[in-house]
Amino acid sequence: MASNATGGAVDSVLTSATPAATGSGDLGAPLYIAWQVTNECNLACLHCIEESGPGKAFRDELNEAQIFGFLDQVVDRQIPYLSFSGGEPTLHPLFFRMVEYVCARNTQLKIETNGHGLTREKCERLQRLGIKAVQVSLDGASRETFNRMRVRGDFDQAVNGIRNLHAAGVPIEINYSPTLFNVHEIGLAVDLAYELGAYSFYTGRTMYTGNAVKTWHRLAPAEEQYAEFFAILHAKSDEYRGRMRVHFHEMGLLEELRYRLHHPAALLIVLPNGLVKLINALPFVCGDLRRQSLTQIWSNFQTAWQDPRVARFVEDLAADPAKTSSLHQWVYL
Amino acid sequence: MKLAKYAKFRAEKFGGVLFETRSEKVFALNPTGAAIVREIGTGCEESRLIGRMQELFNDSGEAIGPEVVAFLANLRKHGLIED
């Protein structure tokens, strides 16, 4: 009865919004869809896990009819939360139409962007449309580190974009990827995020995949640097408690994937061409939105995690962590 | 009383889920909890909620009232409803 009405307040969507976590049977649909709307990007970041960049749009990205057909399914299935990422999602020619479509239908939408195109007018438009949040990548507290990492990027332009969001009243999140040459700035970066008006700050270990495979020798922080990095984050989390949430994942990739094998998040990753991945850090594809409905794909997702190839890949990672370099060689389950 | 701006409810076979998208926290609800949240979503006043639950669950006694009150307090504590 009602005394047990809340089956237990649970953790974040990434750790407990799963059938197992709810403990009461299967969820009928995902709770969160992370859609990489295009692989095109105006920057060519050293660490980009998607290998995005100028001229890197997939040839078979979803067309207009497929896009809005997919969004209709998101609305019909009452998916409460959707994010647009990329590539750089604001470069998609239908970007504002897609935002308008989603926001008008009561699904909460987050945009993950490099912030370079966030003019005052665009930010005001996003605010009027009722966007839930805009997450901007700000990997550094200084021009020197940011510009080194975000090839073709400009620290001042990203910061201006964030200021425009703040002026327009759009909720702001900041994302930070640590590397050998910016890891020491983490404390300053958290302070800067707060100063710019962010309500959340996200970070974790940079992954060995995508562009990072080619640049790893210039990117990978040492374990002792990570130890210091996370110690600072713990302190910053306490410092900003009640003012800005500082989220960070200390877990290494292998540990995280082993956990996910038994507790898959209620999250679908949609690629620009409509393929749906089990999770970003695995090469496995469990559906294709061009050929299957969201309902079919969700059903596949729930069984695909039990496919022995998934567990085998995760365990192979223990012996060979460099296997993450093959995440873009998709394996269809 | 209404669902908070960032709280999204969806019915499920086991009851329902409330997803607080700002904090990205998920709350699983049993059928009674889901029924309460559904009523809140339709605009049911707090003063009428206990009576409505008694009707829905054929509860002629006094049992359900304190549980509804406690549940509402829990929803408020987690920022899932606002007045």
Map out the domains of chain A as residue ranges: 31-250
The backbone torsions φ and ψ at residue A25, rounded to the nearest 5 degrees and listed phi first, read: 100, 180
Task: Tell me the helix, strand and coil percentages in chain B, rounded to 5.
Answer: 45, 25, 30
Does the pLDDT value for residue A133 go beyond 90? yes
Read off the pLDDT of each residue in A75-83 and give the average, rounded to a whole number: 94
Residue pair A244/A198 in contact (Cβ under 8 Å)? The answer is yes
Residue of A34, A85, A67 lying closest to A265 (CA atoms)? A34
> Per the structure block, which two tokens stand in for B27?
């709350």
The whole-angstrom distance between B21's CA and the closest CA on chain A is: 7
pLDDT digits (tens, 9 = 90+) for B26-77: 888 888 899 999 999 999 888 889 899 888 888 777 778 888 888 999 899 8
Of B28, B36, B53, the CB nearest to A7: B28
Which residue is listed with tokens 């983490």?
A186
pLDDT digits (tens, 9 = 90+) for A151-196: 999 999 999 999 999 999 999 999 999 999 999 999 999 999 999 9
A:B CB pairs within 8 Å: 116
Which residue is listed with tokens 């073709």?
A152
CA dist A173 and A219 (Å) reads 23
Name which residue leads in pLDDT, A208 or A70.
A70
pLDDT of A78: 93
Chain B residues lying within 8 Å of A105, measured CB to CB: none
Work out the burial of residue A125: count CB atoms within 10 Å of its CB; fewer than 13 is exposed, 13-18 middle, 19 or more buried: middle
Does the pLDDT value for residue A77 go beyond 90? yes
Give the relative orientation of helices B46-56 and B31-41 as an angle to the nearest 10 degrees. 140
Percent of chain A at pLDDT above 90? 73
Does the pLDDT value for residue B25 go beyond 60? yes
Contacts (Cβ under 8 Å, ≥6 apart) of B42: none
CA dist B43 and B2 (Å) reads 7
Q: pTM, whole model, 2 decimals? A: 0.89
Of A4, A31, A132, the CB nearest to B30: A4
pLDDT digits (tens, 9 = 90+) for A83-99: 999 999 999 999 999 99
Residue pair A286/A302 in contact (Cβ under 8 Å)? The answer is no
CA dist B74 and B54 (Å) reads 20
pLDDT digits (tens, 9 = 90+) for A239-262: 999 999 999 988 878 888 898 888
Write out the residues of chain A at the interface with chain B, using a CB-CB cutoff of 8 A: 1-14, 16-17, 21-29, 31-32, 78, 80-81, 108, 132-133, 171, 199, 245, 266
Angle at A232 between CA B6 and CA A222, to 5 degrees: 115
Q: What is the DSSP letter of A323?
A: G
The backbone torsions φ and ψ at residue A68, rounded to the nearest 5 degrees and listed phi first, read: -75, -25
Domain with residues A31-250, CATH architecture: Alpha-Beta Barrel (3.20)
pLDDT of B80: 92
Write out the residues of chain B at the interface with chain A, using a CB-CB cutoff of 8 A: 6, 8, 10, 12-15, 17, 19, 21-30, 32-33, 36, 53, 57, 63-64, 67-68, 70-71, 74, 78
Does the pLDDT value for residue A222 go beyond 90? yes
CA dist A322 and B77 (Å) reads 45
Of A3, A9, A80, the CB nearest to B21: A80
Work out the burial of residue B62: count CB atoms within 10 Å of its CB; fewer than 13 is exposed, 13-18 middle, 19 or more buried: exposed
First to last CA, chain A: 40
Q: CB A25 to CB B14 under 8 A?
A: yes
pLDDT of A329: 85
Encode A305-324: b = buried (16+ Cβ within 10 Å), e = exposed.
Answer: bebeebeebbeebeeeeebb
- The pLDDT mean for chain A works out to 89
- Coil vs helix vs strand at A195: helix
Q: Which long-range contacts (CB under 8 A, 24 or more apart) does A143-146 make?
A: A145/A181, A145/A182, A145/A185, A146/A182
Least reliable range by pLDDT among A107-111, A193-197, A264-268: A264-268
Residue pair A329/A285 in contact (Cβ under 8 Å)? The answer is no
Global ipTM = 0.83
Residue of A271, A327, A275, A333 lying closest to A304 (CA atoms)? A333
Give me the residues paired with residue A84 across strands. A35, A111
Ramachandran category for residue B24: left, alpha or beta (phi over 0 → left; psi -120 to 50 → alpha): left
Q: Tell me how far the alpha carbon of residue A92 is from its chain's centroid.
A: 17
Residue pair A289/A277 in contact (Cβ under 8 Å)? The answer is no
CA dist A156 and A142 (Å) reads 9
Contacts (Cβ under 8 Å, ≥6 apart) of A174: A135, A136, A137, A138, A162, A189, A193, A196, A198, A200, A201, A202
